[in-house]
Amino acid sequence: MSLKLGRMNFKRCLVYSFGIFVMIFIFLYLVYFRHGAPDTILAANGRKNSYLQEVLSRDTDDDVTRSARAWQKFIDDNKYVSIGDVYNDCDDENRYWVGKSVLLPDPLRGGVTSKTFINFTLENEITEGSADFFIKVSYGSKDLYENEWDFCTMEDDEDEDERFVFCPYEPKKYSWVIERKIPGYLPNGKYYAKAWITDAEEKVFMCAEANFVL
């Protein structure tokens, strides 16, 4: 009799523990991982960075101001929510725009996706070993992820239809549109990502920065 009761209690205890575990899990998911509706995410994003604001307020008519105006017009005309900028350099005070990243609802898979538009004139051929790709991601004030690859082979492990990079690239003008899903499993918060590409002389020739809030 006492043995039977013990077993009953054990079973009940297991069910309770499991219930509490599920409740904690659901709570953590709702607080930290459940993203708002795509519209809510879009509404929280789209602020101009301070460099863009400063350049747009200039009175000059050079490559830098022209590129800022053209890309801002592109964002405005399409009513896009901008989350990032693509430049010809990372640090130069006078870097100019070669593209923009935007955030869009993802009707196919749900959630949100990013699209990066780049119009760029490549000066030197890119072949295996001649360009490196670097990426850094931070979450809030914490460094989250950092990596570097040979540009030409960085996507060798990807599925063929997910791939974007196909070397070699001859020097000419390119118009690229790169779509990348923002994964649903990312915790809510502020993200900052920076990616850049260097040539054979290790000089940066393209640099992208993105800020987004989930």
Task: Point out which residues bind ligand NAG (CB under 6 A).
Answer: 70-71, 74, 119, 175
Cβ-proximal residues to 84 (8 Å cutoff; 6+ apart), any chain: 100, 101, 114, 116, 193, 208, 209, 210, 211, 212
Neighbours of 202 (CB within 10 A): 8
CB of 96 to ligand NAG, least distance (A): 11
CB of 98 to ligand NAG, least distance (A): 9
CB of 70 to ligand NAG, least distance (A): 4
CB of 118 to ligand NAG, least distance (A): 8
CB of 55 to ligand NAG, least distance (A): 14
Q: Which is nearer to ligand NAG, 83 or 214 (CB)?
A: 83
Closest-approach residue to ligand NAG (CB) = 119
Q: Alpha carbon of 202 to those of 146, 150, 164: distances in Å?
A: 18, 12, 22
Q: Alpha carbon of 32 to those of 27, 29, 38, 213: distances in Å?
A: 8, 5, 16, 13
Q: Which is nearer to ligand NAG, 35 or 66 (CB)?
A: 66
Query: Is the CB of residue 212 less than 8 Å from the CB of residue 103?
Result: yes
Q: Which is nearer to ligand NAG, 74 or 139 (CB)?
A: 74
Q: Which is nearer to ligand NAG, 95 or 191 (CB)?
A: 95
Cβ-proximal residues to 66 (8 Å cutoff; 6+ apart), any chain: 96
DSSP state of 162: G
Q: Which is nearer to ligand NAG, 71 or 87 (CB)?
A: 71
